[in-house]
Amino acid sequence: MTNARVIAILSVLAVLGALIFHTMSTWRRFDWTVFYNNARYVSVWHGIGAVAFIYAGFLLRAVRWSIFLRSMKEVPTARLFGPTVVGFAGLAIMGYPGELIRPCLIAHRENLSISSQMAALTLERILDIGSVGVLISAAILGSSDLNILSIPAPFHRGGLLLIAFLAVLVLFTLLLANKGEKVGLVLQHLLSPLSSRLGQKLADLTMAFGDDLNIIRDAKSLAQLSTLSVAIWFLIALAYLETLHAFGALRSMSIVQALLLLGFALMGSLVQLPAGGTQQVLIITALISVFHMPAELAASCGILLWLTIIMAPVPVGLALIWQERLSLLPLLDTARRTRANV
């Protein structure tokens, strides 16, 4: 595990701990009757709408992956939809090891190297971070009335910082894509006086990552990938909004608030547990501490979000596994071996 990832996990745990501590007094007054009534009158149609948005996002993810593969071979989107759903089902059931099922399965079915698909997964992560960051930043900075939207003022400063971070990330990615070898040599030269081994390793990683970025063949492909990525995360935000609107008391919630809640969920995903446990805890505590919801309503909403967002691909994913006579154990073994080498 890298130092950066350790720092990110510790930061999320600190935020999570602070939020839980802040809401402990609220949980002591938890009323199970109110919780039951909230859950009882949930709109099924809004829940179905949320799941539909999630599956539309899976379809766009399959389209995006087919663009990743263009430099290697032409693969129809239809052939990638099944592995996409299976992969996210694995992620929901197993946590992070399940995330690697999708690239391993695509590599096996399309007779491609696992390393090439891991490169595609890395690019997908970069595009996802950039896209969701752009949407959340736009939502924060574009909200004109903080009182009506119940968005704390510090979020505006966070939005500016996020835009600055994304700009640096994009520039660094473009630099690696065009000058990966030179960047690696510069890093090696700078770090060699401190540790020649560290300098060589970092240079090799930088050059390899620069080569991986060559999956994007031209400006047209980059534009397509960027547009698809923003569309995918907007659909996910709509799924969050539909889930919130499933509760009569939350029909006034806006897409801006849904995007902010999505941001909290992504913070929780940094320390992903099987079945999305960390995300749900952070979502519920954010609903109470940031959006000032009653604990009973927040818990009901958190459970429904777990069903419509996290667990949505599981039934279809398991059906596809059964239909193709796949076993999750070999896939998990492959994913674990791949993860050990990443």
The answer as to whether 150 is a domain residue is: no
* Tally of structural domains, the chain: 1
Residue 314 counted as domain residue:
yes
Question: Is 176 inside a domain boundary?
Answer: no
Is 164 inside any structural domain?
Answer: no
Would you write out the chain's pLDDT as a tens digit for each of its 342 residues? Answer: 555 555 555 555 565 555 555 444 444 555 556 555 666 678 889 999 999 999 999 999 999 999 999 878 889 999 999 999 999 998 888 777 778 889 988 988 889 888 778 888 888 888 898 888 888 877 777 665 444 444 555 555 555 566 666 667 666 766 666 666 777 777 777 777 777 777 777 777 676 666 666 666 667 887 888 899 999 999 999 999 999 999 888 888 888 889 888 888 887 666 555 545 677 778 888 888 778 888 778 888 888 898 899 999 999 998 988 887 766 666 666 656 655 555
250, part of any domain = yes
Cα 253 to Cα 311: distance, rounded to the nearest angstrom:
23
Instruction: Report if residue 326 sits inside a domain.
Output: yes
Its domain, for residue 244, covers 40-144+222-341
Tokens representing residue 284 in the block: 């519920």
DSSP secondary structure of 200-256: HHHHHHHHHHHHHGGGS-SHHHHHHHHHHHHHHHHHHHHHHHHHHHTSGGGTT--HH
Phi, psi of 244 (to 5 degrees): -60, -40
Instruction: Assess contact for 62 and 77: CB atoms under 8 A.
Output: yes
> Could you tell me if residue 266 is inside a domain?
yes
Which residue intervals of 110-218 are DSSP H helices?
114-142, 146-149, 154-191, 196-212
